[in-house]
Structure formats: C-alpha cells, structure tokens
Structure 1
Amino acid sequence: MVDHAVVITAAQEADDPNSAAARPTTELQRIVAEEWELVLDRRCIGPGDDFFALGGDSMAVLTVAGRLSRRLGRTVRSTMMFECSTVRSLAERLGATEQAPRAALHRRPARRHCVARSSAFGV
C-alpha cells in the first residue's frame, strides 16, 4: 500500500529550492554534488545538503577539494569547504571566485631597476 502523504511530501520537498531533496540547478552545483556523491558514496545529494551532516570529515574535505581543483582547472582550497558546507553555498562561492576580475593575475609586476653598489662587486 502506498502512503500518498509521503509521496506528496517528497514531491513538494523536491520542488522546494531550500530543501535538501531538491536537485542541483546550476552546472557548478551539479559538479559539486557529483564529487560529493563519489567521495561520500552517497546518491541524490541536493543543494541544501550539508557535507558534514552527510558524513564528511577532514580527509574527505581534502579529497573533494583536490578533485574539484582538477575538474575545474583551478585551486579549490579546503578552507572553502569548511566555510561553505552545503552544495549551494560552495557552488556560489566557486562561482563568485570564477567571476572575480582576473586582470590582477595577468598583470606583470613593475620592474625595479637594480643599481649595483660598487662595494658589492669589489669595484
């Protein structure tokens, strides 16, 4: 016998974006959720799920951070996972850092002209 109240509640939770049962809605959320599922050996991780509530620990944090770094082609610091422990919050942080201006990363530092002191060269 099917409990229709349970089925309706589950469907409503899946439609509620604040529910852990909701599906990832952005590409970054999908990537984060996929990596968590692999490392934590879980299925159907949603945007509101908390990494540590799902059984994540510091070793799993290091593993996920490394996997995300390789997959995204940029550094994902483990501290980010402690600060942003849900799929949604981590994906938002990763998206924000991706959108940050990169001009400073490509700018060359100003060259300093070194003037050698004659005593340093025995002159």
Structure 2
Amino acid sequence: MSTSRLQDVPRMKWGDSTISAQRYNRVRLGLLRLKNPMRIDTGLRDIDIILEDKVWYCVDRSMHDLPICAWDGFKPRQTLHEPIPCRLSFYHAHADKILEKVLIAVDHYLEEQLAKIRRSLIAK
C-alpha cells in the first residue's frame, strides 16, 4: 500500500500526539538497519503496521489494507531523549482501542530483530 491511500480515505478525527523517544529511536534504527519501508504483523487479527520515514500507519489486511490509524508530521527533534511530537489520525471508529497493543508489537518485533543483528556482529 502506498501512503497515497491515506489521502484517499477520510479521517474520522485527528490531533496532536507524541511518541516516546525510545520507541521513535528504535523505529528509526530499524528502518536504517533492517528494511525501509517495513511491514510488521502485529499479532492482532488482520492488523499490520507499516513503518516509513515520514509516516507509520496501521492497516486491516482483510479489508485490502484499509487504514485504521496513522502517525505522521513528526516534528524535528532537538535531543535524543525527549518525546517526539506528531499528529495521530484515526480512520476507524475503534482505532484508539488498538494503539498501545500495536506499538508494543512494534517494540517487541524490533527488539528481537535488532538483537539478532547485534549477536551476529558480536559473533564475527
């Protein structure tokens, strides 16, 4: 799915949000070292998250990647330890129910994949 699909589907609501520095830094590292863009199966029924440089968005695979929610508009940061301001958009009425579970799935996946890279570097 391309991010143009996000413009094709009307947002139900949106507003300001933040992403913790630790989570943001981990995603940036994953995009640099693993794959960009990156699609992660969240373990939630038919819900994936697609991570790109400028936007992170959840999609419903069973609905031809219909957007559920998206984080974009990440503000430039001044430090590595402060939360990153962004915009959070909702495309589904119940998107708020899965937000934290999706982000936790991203954390677990990236921790596991980045740990594999570290172990392979140490073994060399």
Which structure has more relative contact order (CA 8 Å, sep 6+)? It is 2
Does TM, normalized by the shorter one, top 0.5?
no
TM-score when scaled to structure 2? 0.25
Normalized against structure 1, the TM-score is what? 0.26
